[in-house]
Amino acid sequence: MQAYKEDIPDLFHSNALLVISDGIEARVGSLTPDPERYVAWRTIDGARVDPLGAMKELETLVRGLLRRELLLDYLRHFILFQDDGPLVKKVAGYHQIHAVRAVVESVLVASSPKADASRRGKGGAVWHTQGAGKSIEMTCLAAELLRETPVQADTRPRLRELLSHSAHFGERDR
């Protein structure tokens, strides 16, 4: 990959995601991180992991990530740029995008005046282990909640300020 980036840099200017596969195993990532940051996409529906079984990573990735609705959402909301040094593009993993989408849905239901009393005010929680990508996920979650929920006018500028220190979403100056 590095040779292509050096020899044909124009090819990568508009690149959002890279899928690397040998036809069986498949990984997804972006241009700037180290190769070990390329990860398998292990779900189609966000609920079941490795639903097609062993030796079906590419099909799982294609049927899961590359579905039109999910891919467009992913490209719009789950690619970040870290610029506290050299610009680094970061992309969310399957567990991060599905967790964010589930929490946003839960928050929308819990904050609705029509919500069942047992759900009202209970948006949910996400548990992680060390190295699971909490920073990317929480940045994406905060941005999604800003887009999807009514936020008090005095809170919105502070949230935007906090987000601006974490990452940029697809644009350098947002």
pLDDT tens digits along 71-99: 999 999 999 988 888 878 889 999 999 99
The DSSP secondary-structure symbol of 92 reads -
Answer whether 0.85 is exceeded by the pTM: no
Map tokens 């989408």 to a residue: 101
Write the CA distances from 81 to 25, 71, 93, 130, 134, integer angstroms: 27, 18, 15, 21, 15
Report the mean per-residue pLDDT for the chain.
Answer: 83
Give the pLDDT score at 154.
Answer: 56
Beta bridge partners of 90: 80
What pLDDT, in 10s, does the model give residues 38-78? 899 999 999 999 999 989 999 999 999 999 999 999 999 99
What pLDDT, in 10s, does the model give residues 143-169? 888 888 765 555 666 666 666 665 555
Q: What is the C-alpha separation between 158 and 28, in angstroms, rounded?
A: 33
Contacts of 130 (CB under 8 A, 6+ apart): none
Give the pLDDT score at 3.
Answer: 82
From 93, 116, 96, select the one nearest 106 (Cα to Cα): 116
**Is residue 106 scored above 60 in pLDDT?**
yes
User: Hey, what are 159's tokens?
Assistant: 């949230």
Q: How confident is the model at residue 172 (pLDDT cuts 50, 70, 90)?
A: very low
Write the CA distances from 170 to 101, 108, 131, 173, integer angstroms: 19, 25, 23, 9
